[in-house]
Amino acid sequence: RRVLLEEATPSLRGKIGKVPSGLRGKRKRILVTGGAGFVGSHLVDRLIERGDSVIVIDNFFTGRKENLFHHFGNPNFELIRHDVVEPILLEVDQIYHLACPASPVHYKFNPTNVVGTLNMLGLAKRVGARFLLTSTSEVYGDPLQHPQAETYWGNVNPIGVRSCYDEGKRTAETLTMDYHRGAGIEVRIARIFNTYGPRMCLDDGRVVSNFVAQALRKEPLTVYGDGKQTRSFQYVSDLVEGLIRLMEGEHVGPFNLGNPGEFTMLELAQVVQETIDPNAKIEYRPNTEDDPHKRKPDISKAKELLGWQPSVSLRKGLPLMVSDFRQRIFGDSKDALG
């Protein structure tokens, strides 16, 4: 059963404030775990803009309060410092579960994917909320099928250095489907492919943030391996649109959400050179273990069932993150936090 605002306890209604009559029955109470992070904060912007009440829980492991400063003081916004590995009691209609140490540098450190997802599913079950899991293209591992469709089961090393992340997300998907089938909760699963944009973590070692920061600092761009491995890069606003469509739609998924444009790391380096500094040098470094050779989403399912496809190309999207990065690195730009 979905818990609507009208059914909330008087004390809770008091907290949320009077609902304008136009919005009554429409404004949702939405929990975004990991909402202080890169993707989460852009999602929060859209939900607040739409007129929803948003609660963010985040332990600031990789997220930053600065990403949400502009909502402080808004009665429809609440930020709670909390680790999703611990249980929590809240009353909400929808849960976007993003909390997760998401980069190779950070994700070895905790069991968020399993224990955190279990807690959020328990919460969804108790209050009858709809639950959306942000899974990842990493569930496909080093894929033997190209491009990857949702029907592909993946090629993952269960004991490799990345397994805490990819097996963690695979387990999270399993838990999500178990709660759906066993407890009847409404769930949605997104498999997100590499996403970039303003507010990306500066130092988490992802290739786009590394190259952009390196070019701005006049350092060489570090290409791992021979640079011929491929990835597909999605601009964050396209992802947020896809997540919202998925949550509001009728289909469980999983759905690939990514941009099918495929680039080698050398091609990416070239786009960064064209965008920021044509004289930026390239420096080759050894690649990490178990690095997938290629990755590109098949998004036919999302196109057909969600009516969604990305609209921002790499060449259009990359410049949109440069002013934010410049501001955070040098503190000299006027238009920060795009």
Residues that bind ligand NAD (CB under 6 A): 33-34, 36-40, 57-63, 83-85, 98-102, 110, 112, 116, 134, 136, 192, 194-195, 201
Residue recorded with tokens 């959306």: 132
Q: Which of 96, 140, 165, 235 is catalytic?
A: 165
3-state secondary structure 119-130: HHHHHHHHHCCE
Q: How many CB atoms lie within 10 A of CB 139?
A: 24
- Write each residue from 32 to 51 as x if it is in contact with ligand UDP (CB under 6 A), else as -, in one continuous string: --------------------
- Write each residue from 59 to 88 as x if it is in contact with ligand UDP (CB under 6 A), else as -, in one continuous string: ----------------------------xx
Q: Residue from 74, 288, 311, 313 that binds ligand UDP (CB under 6 A)?
A: 288
Q: Residue from 57, 118, 175, 200 that binds ligand UDP (CB under 6 A)?
A: 118
| Nearest residue to 56 via CA among 74, 38, 81, 75 | 81
Q: Distance between CA 293 and CA 314 in Å, rounded?
A: 20
Choose the contact partner of 198 out of ligand NAD, ligand UDP, none; CB within 5 to 8 A by kind: none
Q: Are the CB atoms for 257 and 191 separated by under 8 Å?
A: yes
Q: Distance between CA 162 and CA 210 in Å, rounded?
A: 19
Residue recorded with tokens 């999302």: 302
Q: Distance between CA 326 and CA 328 in Å, rounded?
A: 6
Q: Which residue is nearest to ligand UDP (CB)?
A: 122
Q: Distance between CA 230 and CA 253 in Å, rounded?
A: 25
Bond prior to 254 in cis (omega within 30° of 0): yes
Q: Is 284 in the site for ligand UDP (CB under 6 A)?
A: no
3-class SS at 2? coil
> Minimal distance in Å, beta carbon 120 to ligand UDP?
7
> Minimal distance in Å, beta carbon 79 to ligand UDP?
18
> Minimal distance in Å, beta carbon 41 to ligand NAD?
8
Q: Is 195 in the site for ligand UDP (CB under 6 A)?
A: no
- Would you name the residues annotated as active-site residues? 165
Binding residues for ligand UDP, rule: CB under 6 A, are 87-89, 104, 118-119, 122-123, 125-126, 194, 205-207, 210, 222-224, 229, 231, 265, 287-288, 291
